[in-house]
Amino acid sequence: MRKVFYILLLMPCGLRAQNYSTALIPDSLKKDARGVIRDQEMIMEIKSPGKAVWRERHVYTVLNSNADYLANYRSHYDKLLSISDISGVLYDSLGKAVRKAKRKDMQDRTMDDGMSLATDDRELEHNFYCQLYPYTVDYQENDEEDGILGFHTWMPLVGSGISTQHSKYVIIAPKDYLVRYLSVNGAPAPVITEEKDKKIYTWEAWNMPARKTESHGPIWTEIVPYVMTAPSDFEQQGYKGNMSTWTDYGKFIQQLRTGRDLLPENIKQQVHALVDTIPDVHRKVYALYRYLQQNTHYISVQFGIGGWQPFPADYVANKRYGDCKALSNYMVALLKEAGIKGKYVEIMAEKDAPPMIDKFSCSQFNHAISCVPLDKDTIWLECTNQTVSPGYMGTFTGGREAILIDEDGGHLVRTPGYTAADNIQCRVVQAQLAPDGDLDAAVRTRYGCIRQELPHAMIDVWSAEDRKKYLNELFDLPTYTVDKSHYDEYKGPHPVVDEDLHVTVSNYASVSGKRLFINPNVFDRNSLRLPADSIRKYDYVDDNAFTNIDSVVITVPSGYEVEARPKDVAIQGDFGTFRTSLRFENDKLIYYRFRQHSAGRYPPAEYAALVKFYEQLYQSDNQRVVLVKKE
């Protein structure tokens, strides 16, 4: 699905010649910076709800190799967006032009995402490959857009360690055209002026020092000012719509889907043969979902408005493939034939996707799924994955807002998230320690929800070589061998994977004369230690919620007794719950560890306490028991 919520490096156009000597950059903009945006300007002129022209200019100074990516210029175009003019100039540190580039000097290629069967998306790419720092690149471009489905986002600070000397965004529209905008994180309101029959919206910023992200800090869109802009009325390829509200936005998407849920007769017959005798609606949905998974696969096809509009259900039935939109639409059609009301949903996918800004209606989505709303719950369906459990959203689309498309328009909904109790890793270890310190262990682990995603992929997707690599990197031990493995998978809205391993660990315990030094926590040690001297500016954000339970029994050679042992630990607080206990009886070390960690967001004032918490976990997990041979 084509993403229309842009967070771009927006830059200048139509400026008179300037001196881009790096000596003219204020020291305040060089501090903590690897690159500087000298000028960024984008001017959009709306000719009608379906046509616009863009004039833009991009001028960056690259201070060191860490900002070389700024000089790798790329511009997208397709059958609806054409590039009428484009050029580039390379300046040295004195501001002298040393090289120029025209369109003929740029690479013109298909934007191959590795998943699309066919696409009309293309890009021009160019790089001067300069390594004499500092240097400056200046690209200018004019575009024509036939069909407006979205505007850009103005973000004068584009990334960590990049300062901005000047940034400007202009929208020129007919007086009676409503330009919508939302200022976020203190971004300025536009200066609005009028000229004859035009209304001009201008955002501008000067001399913005570089900001730096922090480990486990908020995402970029939470800490920098930016402005979202979007159309009201719009038009593309004969389709007209309005996105001033989520209701109106949903009506447009529903318009694109109208008449595209018709199934071939043979598929209708298969649907009824499959589910007519099943009394329970959940089981009907699961059966149809398995049918979808077994009879289709994901391939992206993107042409024009096809980035928004799904292919018809009969196309998917005949071709047995489709993109996220087509497969989700097909799933809804299968459900409809079975007498079940399925719904089409647009969502922003990927684990680190930015949160949806629900108070500003526009396309903020890159993916489509489907769902079945029921009286007491909703069954969510990821239609592009041939192995995922029915009802499970996981890290890809779980725990976020989305837009459900219905006949009466769009409705804000939220997909299910997963708590610490859901994301469980429960491990039972039965091990024997040899006199030379080698360990032989039977390890049984149950993984739930998000914790099962990796073993699920290993079972259903990975090659034998990838599985072997996974098992050899699963545990934080210097030398071990997994010589047996077995998995059982239980699917559903809260999927579970059971793992049985046989593991041998060479020299696990240290043997020194009549003493054995053993770490009772064999397979689950916390390795995270936060830098104690860090001075944080932003919140510490931890999105992981999980529960780890370890029960370990290590049988040691007979004749030993405890000489020294770690104390039991019990920590309960804002950062989580952590408990350990240890006892030694009948030649057995019996160790128990419980850690529950909820997602949280902690202000800088609490960072020192968080450092202490993780240090306590680290120290506890790495303590050893000392056993001594009885006289």
Asked if residue 3 is part of any domain, the answer here is no
Do 282 and 177 reside in the same domain of the chain? no
pLDDT of 15 above 70: no
Q: Quote the tokens at residue 29.
A: 């903009």
Mean confidence (pLDDT) of the chain: 92
What is the DSSP pairing of strand 239-242 with strand 81-91? Answer: unpaired
Domain that holds residue 209: 22-239
Give the DSSP letter string of 483-497. Answer: EEEEEEEE-SSS-EE
Identify whether the C-beta of residue 563 lies closer than 8 Å to the C-beta of residue 627: yes
Cα dihedral 318→324→327→328 (10° resolution):
-160
pLDDT beyond 90 at 16: no
Q: Is the pLDDT of residue 7 over 50?
A: no
Which sign does the torsion angle of CA 218, 222, 225, 231 carry? positive
Model confidence at 188: pLDDT above 90: yes
Residue 2 in domain: no
Q: How many CB atoms lie within 10 A of CB 467?
A: 17
**What pLDDT, in 10s, does the model give residues 471-520?**
999 998 989 999 999 999 999 999 999 999 999 999 999 999 999 999 99
pLDDT of residue 150: 84
Contact in structure between 170 and 108 (CB atoms under 8 Å): no
> Closest Cα partner for 61 from 203, 170, 161, 169?
161
Q: For 410, how many CA atoms within 13 A lie in the half-sphere containing its CB?
A: 26
Which residue type does 156 have?
A: P
pLDDT of 158 above 70: yes
pLDDT per residue over 239-260, tens digit each?
A: 899 999 999 999 999 999 999 9
CA angle 601, 602, 604 (to 5 degrees): 140
Q: Given this model, what pLDDT does residue 514 score?
A: 93
Same domain, yes or no: 510 and 599: yes
Whole-prediction pTM value? 0.90
pLDDT at 370: 98
C-beta separation of 255 from 406 below 8 A: no
What pLDDT was estimated at residue 49? Answer: 86
CATH assignment at residue 285:
3.10.620.30
Q: Are residues 491 and 615 in the same domain?
A: yes
The stretch 161-172 carries a mean pLDDT of: 97
Structure token pair of residue 203: 């955002």
State the average pLDDT over residues 563-572: 95
**What's CA 536's distance to the chain center, in Å?**
24
The whole-number average pLDDT for the span 19-37 is 96
Would residue 10 count as lying in a domain? Answer: no
- 7 vs 33, more confident: 33
The answer to the question of residue 519 being in a domain is: yes
- Residue spans of beta strands (DSSP E) within 120-197: 122-126, 135-146, 153-154, 162-174, 180-184, 191-195
CA distances to 430, 436, 594, 624 from 585, rounded to whole Å, are: 15, 21, 21, 17
Domain boundary among 197, 213, 239: 239
Domain-located, residue 66: yes
CATH code of the domain containing 165: 2.60.40.3140
* CATH, residue 434: 2.60.120.1130
User: CA 79, CA 92: separation in Å to the nearest integer?
Assistant: 36
Percent of the chain with pLDDT over 90: 86
Indicate the helix (H) or strand (E) that contains 607: helix 607-621
> 297 lies in a domain?
yes
Q: Which two tokens stand for residue 484?
A: 């047996």
Instruction: Say yes or no: 404 and 516 in one domain.
Output: no
**Residues 449, 289: Cα–Cα separation, whole Å:** 19
- Integer Cα distance of 526 and 614 in angstroms: 8
User: Is pLDDT at 62 greater than 80 in this prediction?
Assistant: yes
Instruction: Name the maximum alpha-carbon separation found in the chain.
Output: 103
Distance (Å, rounded) from C-alpha 505 to C-alpha 499? 18
pLDDT bracket for residue 303 (50, 70, 90): low
pLDDT band at 6 (very low <50, low <70, confident <90, very high): very low
Cα–Cα nearest to 438, from 294, 569, 554: 554
DSSP 3-state of 244: coil
Q: How far apart are CA 153 and CA 44, in angstroms?
A: 12
Q: Residue 7's closest CA among 126, 137, 152, 182? A: 152
Final residue of a domain: which of 239, 264, 283?
239
Q: Count other Cβ atoms within 10 Å, centred on residue 240.
A: 12
pLDDT mean over 567-574: 94
* Higher-confidence position of 528 and 431: 431
Q: Is residue 15 part of a domain?
A: no
Higher pLDDT, 147 or 359: 359
- Which one, of 389, 527, 399, lies nearest residue 455 by Cα? 389
What's the confidence (pLDDT) of residue 302? 63
Pick from 55, 69, 64: nearest CA to 15: 55
Residue (of 136, 199, 154) closest to 41 by Cα position:
154
| Judgement on whether residues 58 and 83 belong to the same structural domain of the protein | yes
Q: Is the peptide bond before 225 cis (omega within 30 degrees of 0)?
A: no
Average pLDDT over residues 588-607: 95
* More confident site: 56 or 5: 56
Check: CB of residue 602 under 8 Å from CB of residue 567: no
Residues 134 and 63 sit within 8 Å (Cβ to Cβ): yes
What amino acid is encoded at 206 in this protein?
W
Average pLDDT, integer, range 288-302: 91
Same domain, 449 and 397: no
Q: Which DSSP string do the residues of 77-135 spell out, in sequence order?
A: EBTTEEEEEEEEEEE-TTS-EEEEEEGGGSEEEE---SSEEEE--EEEEE-----SSSE
State the Cα angle at 162 between 160 and 167, rounded to 5°. Answer: 120
Partners of 584 in beta bridges:
589
Q: How many CB atoms lie within 10 A of CB 181?
A: 19
Question: In this model, does residue 306 exceed pLDDT 80?
Answer: no
Is the separation of the CB atoms in 387 and 456 below 8 Å?
A: yes
Pick the last residue of a domain from 199, 224, 239: 239
Residue 502 identity (one-letter amino acid): H
In a domain, 349, yes or no: yes
Same structural domain, 335 and 367: yes
The residue with tokens 């600070």 is 157
Query: Scanning the structure block, which residue is given the tokens 């950062």?
Result: 575
What is residue 304's predicted lDDT score, i.e. its pLDDT?
56
My answer on whether 107 and 204 are in the same domain is yes
Residue pair 293/392 in contact (Cβ under 8 Å)? The answer is no
CB-count burial class (<10 Å; 0-12, 13-18, 19+) for 136: buried
Residue with tokens 């409809």: 336
H-helix or E-strand containing 245? Answer: none
What is the DSSP secondary structure assignment for residue 603, as one 8-state letter?
-
Q: How sure is the predictor about 238, in pLDDT bands with cuts at 50, 70 and 90?
A: confident
Task: Point out the least confidently predicted range of 15-24, 62-71, 332-341.
Answer: 15-24
Residue 355 token pair:
């949160």
User: Do residues 247 and 389 share a domain?
Assistant: yes
C-alpha radius of gyration, the chain, whole number = 29
> Same domain, yes or no, for 547 and 597?
yes
Regarding whether 80 and 213 lie in a shared domain, the answer is yes
Same domain for 138 and 174?
Answer: yes
Rounded (to 5) percent helix, strand, coil in the chain: 20, 40, 40
Strands 409-414 and 401-406, bridge-based pairing? antiparallel
How many domains does the structure of the chain reveal? 3
Task: Give the integer Cα–Cα distance in Å for 38 and 25.
Answer: 8
pLDDT of 32 above 80: yes
In this structure, what token pair is assigned to residue 393?
């959203």
Burial class (CB in 10 A: 0-12, 13-18, 19+), 545: buried
End-to-end CA distance of the chain: 73
Q: Over the stretch 106-141, which tens digit does the pLDDT of each residue have?
A: 999 886 655 545 566 789 999 999 999 999 999 999
Q: Which residues contact 250 (CB under 8 A, 6 or more apart)?
A: 403, 404, 405, 406, 408, 409, 410, 411
